[in-house]
Structure 1
Amino acid sequence: MSRVQAVDHLVISVSDFAASKAFYSGLFTFLGFDLMDEMAEAMGWSNGNTRFWIYQADSRGKKHPYRKGDVGFHHYAWSLNSRRDVDELQAWLEQEGARIVDPAGEYYTDYYAVFFLDPDGLKLEGMHYGKEQ
């Protein structure tokens, strides 16, 4: 029987490739990802374990802006090494003017996270599970 080892990559379609390229390039640099490849309307990053790609939505796709609550993507979370890393991510997001929807805090027992939006309103999360070492 086949067994999943890990999530290999996530690919999202974006409405404005230039705006998303700027946002994700900064975010992934901050999170320690390296650029894998860049094409006219696609770009991907990797940290050696996870790969993340953005693609320009086609003209039909751009007519249907993302709305959390519709069928499809809800949010994507990156596991960070510490609560301090979550706080540093929030500070970086604030400096960049990103929209933070739920500030850094403990949302469940031993679950510390910050939730924010990308340029299309896709919800993203930086989180740490467990007590601080």
Structure 2
Amino acid sequence: MIEVNGMAHVILTVSDFDASRAFYCELLPFLGLKKVYDGNNFVYHVGGRTALGIQRCAPEYEGQRFMQNRVGLHHLCLRAR
């Protein structure tokens, strides 16, 4: 039988990649995640039995705001001690 053991990873597509990269690259190490990849369109942190990736959106969506009640991700909650 397969049992869920946690969340492997989450990838967030963002409309302001530079601001999001700056925010998450400061927050995630504080929460114990280690940056393992940082490129022009994607940054990836791993730790605590999970990983979080931030990726640049397609050019036609740059600058658009997140709408919580639209189809797609509702929210993300990271557990920290």
- Shorter chain as denominator, the TM-score bin is 0.7 to 0.9
Distance 1:16 1:33 in 2: 22
Describe the shift of the 1:38–1:3 C-alpha distance in structure 2 as closer, same or farther (beyond 3 A): same
1:112 alignment partner in structure 2:
none
Distance 1:64 1:17 in 2: 12
Percent identity over the alignment is: 28
Give the C-alpha shift of residue 64 in structure 1. Answer: 4.5
Structure 2: segments with no counterpart, 5+ residues:
none
Normalized per residue, which structure has more strand? 1
Cα displacement string for residues 9-64 of structure 1 (whole angstroms, at most 9, x for unaligned residues): 00011112111111001111211111011111100001141100000000233375
Amino acid of the residue matched to residue 56 of structure 2? Q
Task: Name segments (4+ residues, structure 1) moved above 4 Å.
Answer: none
8 A Cα contact 2:11 2:52, kept in partner = yes
Structure 1: segments with no counterpart, 5+ residues:
82-133
TM-score by length of 1: 0.55
1:72 alignment partner in structure 2:
72
Distance 1:50 1:20 in 2: 19
Q: Give the number of the structure whose alpha-carbon radius of gyration is greater.
A: 1
Amino acid of the residue matched to residue 50 of structure 2? T
Question: Which of structures 1 and 2 has the larger relative contact order (alpha carbons within 8 angstroms, sep 6+)?
Answer: 2
SS at match of 2:73: coil
The alignment covers a number of residue pairs equal to 81
Matched, 1:6 2:6: yes
RMSD of aligned Cα (Å): 1.7
